[in-house]
Amino acid sequence: NMLEPCEPKKYVSKTPLGLPKLPLPDLKDTMDMYLRCVKHLLTEEQFNKTQKIVKQFEAPGGVGELLQSKLVEKREKTANWVFDYWLNDMYLNNRVALPVNSSPVMVFPQQNFRAPIDSLKFAAHLISGVLEYKALLECSHDLPVDCARGQLAGTPLCMEQYHRLFTSHRLPGLEKDKLVAQESSMMPEPEHMIVACKNQFFVLNVVINFCRLNERDVLIQLEKIKEMAESGEDRLPPVGLLTSDGRTEWAEARSILMRESMNRDSLDMIERSMCLVCLDEASGPELSDTTRAMLMLHGGGAAKNGGNRWYDKPMQFVVGEDGCCGVVCEHSPFEGIVLVQCTEYLLKYMIGSPSKLVRAASVSELPAPRKLHWKCSPEIQKRISSSADKLQRLVKNLDMNVHKFCDYGKEFIKKQKMSPDAFIQVALQLAYYRCHGRMVSTYESASTRRFRKGRVDNIRSATPEALAFIRAMTDGKLSSKKMRMLREAITAQTNYTVLAISGMAIDNHLLGLREIAQEMKMEKPEIFKDAAYLISNHFLLSTSQVPTTVEMFCCYGPVVQNGYGVCYNPQSDHIIFSVSSFHESPETCSAEFVKHLLQGLQDMMDLCNELQQRIKPLSTIRLKLLRIIL
Ligand code: COA
* 217 pocket-lining for ligand 1 (C-beta < 6 Å): no
Q: Is 357 exposed, middle or buried (0-12, 13-18, 19+ CB in 10 A)?
A: middle
Ligand 1 binding pocket mutation candidate from 155, 343, 413, 414 (most atoms within 8 A of CB): 414
For atom 47 of ligand 1, which residue has the closest CA?
336
Coil, strand, or helix at residue 191? coil
Average pLDDT value for residue range 269-296 = 94
Q: Say if residue 10's pLDDT is above 60.
A: no
Number of other CB atoms surrounding residue 362 within 10 Å: 5
Q: Comparing C-alpha atoms, which of 21, 97, 118, 155 is closest to residue 454?
A: 21
Q: How far is the CA of 26 from the centre of ligand 1 (A)?
A: 26
Grade residue 140 by pLDDT with cuts at 50, 70 and 90: low
Tens digit of each residue's pLDDT (9 = 90 or more) over 31-72: 999 999 999 999 999 999 999 999 999 999 999 999 999 999
* 515 pocket-lining for ligand 1 (C-beta < 6 Å): no
Task: Tell me which amino acid residue 449 is.
Answer: R
The confidence score (pLDDT) of residue 356 equals 72
Top mean pLDDT of 11-15, 37-41, 153-157 is at 37-41
Q: How far is the CA of 296 from the centre of ligand 1 (A)?
A: 27
Which segments within 354-480 are labelled E, that is strand?
370-371, 398-405, 442-447, 456-459
The confidence score (pLDDT) of residue 618 equals 55
Grade residue 477 by pLDDT with cuts at 50, 70 and 90: confident
Distance CA 118, CA 116 (A): 5
Residue 79 near residue 14 (C-beta atoms within 8 A): no
Distance CA 187, CA 258 (A): 23
Task: Tell me which amino acid residue 380 is.
Answer: I
Average pLDDT value for residue range 246-266 = 98
Distance CA 539, CA 474 (A): 24
Distance of CA 463 to the CA centre of its chain: 23
Number of other CB atoms surrounding residue 159 within 10 Å: 23
Ligand 1 binding pocket mutation candidate from 330, 488, 545, 578 (most atoms within 8 A of CB): 545
* 419 pocket-lining for ligand 1 (C-beta < 6 Å): yes
Q: Comparing C-alpha atoms, which of 276, 238, 279 is closest to residue 392?
A: 238
Q: How far is the CA of 569 from the centre of ligand 1 (A)?
A: 11
Grade residue 475 by pLDDT with cuts at 50, 70 and 90: confident
Q: How far is the CA of 283 from the centre of ligand 1 (A)?
A: 37
**Ramachandran sector of residue 476 (left: φ over 0; alpha: ψ -120 to 50; beta: rest):** left
Coil, strand, or helix at residue 392? helix
Coil, strand, or helix at residue 495? helix
Average pLDDT value for residue range 392-412 = 98
Residue 297 near residue 400 (C-beta atoms within 8 A): yes
Distance CA 503, CA 28 (A): 16
Residue 140 near residue 14 (C-beta atoms within 8 A): yes
Distance CA 254, CA 260 (A): 11
DSSP letter for each residue of 429-443: HHHHHHHHSS---EE
Catalytic residues: 331
Q: How far is the CA of 100 from the centre of ligand 1 (A)?
A: 26
Of the two residues 128 and 11, the one the predictor is more confident about is 128
For atom 3 of ligand 1, which residue has the closest CA?
414
Tens digit of each residue's pLDDT (9 = 90 or more) over 226-243: 999 998 777 899 999 999
Q: How far is the CA of 327 from the centre of ligand 1 (A)?
A: 24
Tens digit of each residue's pLDDT (9 = 90 or more) over 481-520: 999 999 999 999 999 999 999 999 999 999 999 999 999 9
The confidence score (pLDDT) of residue 18 equals 85
The confidence score (pLDDT) of residue 8 equals 35
* 569 pocket-lining for ligand 1 (C-beta < 6 Å): no
The confidence score (pLDDT) of residue 208 equals 84
* 146 pocket-lining for ligand 1 (C-beta < 6 Å): no
Residue 591 near residue 431 (C-beta atoms within 8 A): no
For atom 9 of ligand 1, which residue has the closest CA?
419
Distance CA 599, CA 407 (A): 11
Distance CA 35, CA 47 (A): 8
Q: Which of 28-32, 588-592, 613-617 has the lowest mean pLDDT?
A: 613-617
Average pLDDT, the chain: 92
523-530 contacts, C-beta under 8 A, 24 or more apart: 525/57, 525/63, 525/64, 525/67, 526/53, 526/56, 526/57, 527/53, 527/54, 527/57, 527/64, 530/49, 530/50, 530/53
Task: Tell me which amino acid residue 318 is.
Answer: V
Q: How far is the CA of 470 from the centre of ligand 1 (A)?
A: 22
Separation of first and last alpha carbons in the chain: 45
Q: Which of 92-96, 178-182, 443-447 has the lowest mean pLDDT?
A: 178-182
Q: What is the dihedral of CA 174, 179, 185, 187, to 10 degrees?
A: 30
Distance CA 366, CA 213 (A): 10
* 415 pocket-lining for ligand 1 (C-beta < 6 Å): no
Ligand 1 atom with the shortest distance to the CA of 423: 25
Distance CA 221, CA 204 (A): 7
Number of other CB atoms surrounding residue 349 within 10 Å: 16
**Cα dihedral across residues 498, 344, 224, 229: positive or negative:** positive
Distance CA 571, CA 405 (A): 10
Tens digit of each residue's pLDDT (9 = 90 or more) over 307-359: 999 999 999 999 999 999 999 999 999 999 999 999 999 999 999 887 777 65
Q: Say if residue 423's pLDDT is above 80.
A: yes
Average pLDDT value for residue range 579-607 = 98
Ligand 1 binding pocket mutation candidate from 421, 442, 460, 571 (most atoms within 8 A of CB): 421
CA distance to 198, 276, 369, 607, per residue, from 201 (Å):
8, 9, 10, 56
Distance CA 304, CA 286 (A): 14
For atom 35 of ligand 1, which residue has the closest CA?
545
Percent of the chain with pLDDT over 70: 92
Ligand 1 atom with the shortest distance to the CA of 104: 48
The confidence score (pLDDT) of residue 13 equals 45
CA distance to 428, 482, 593, 607, per residue, from 409 (Å):
15, 21, 19, 16
Which segments within 334-472 are labelled E, that is strand?
370-371, 398-405, 442-447, 456-459
CA-atom Rg of the chain in angstroms: 26
The confidence score (pLDDT) of residue 360 equals 52
Q: Say if residue 179's pLDDT is above 90.
A: yes
Average pLDDT value for residue range 69-98 = 98
Q: How far is the CA of 546 from the centre of ligand 1 (A)?
A: 10
CA distance to 219, 234, 275, 308, per residue, from 194 (Å):
14, 18, 6, 11
Which distant-in-sequence residues (6+ apart) come within 8 Å of 223 by Cβ?
Answer: 117, 120
Which segments within 367-483 are labelled E, that is strand?
370-371, 398-405, 442-447, 456-459
Of the two residues 202 and 136, the one the predictor is more confident about is 202
Number of other CB atoms surrounding residue 623 within 10 Å: 10
Q: How far is the CA of 68 from the centre of ligand 1 (A)?
A: 31
Percent of the chain with pLDDT over 90: 83
* 571 pocket-lining for ligand 1 (C-beta < 6 Å): no
Grade residue 437 by pLDDT with cuts at 50, 70 and 90: very high
For atom 23 of ligand 1, which residue has the closest CA?
150
* 168 pocket-lining for ligand 1 (C-beta < 6 Å): no
Which segments within 358-495 are labelled E, that is strand?
370-371, 398-405, 442-447, 456-459
Ligand 1 binding pocket mutation candidate from 6, 338, 413, 419 (most atoms within 8 A of CB): 419
Ligand 1 atom with the shortest distance to the CA of 417: 1
Ligand 1 atom with the shortest distance to the CA of 418: 7
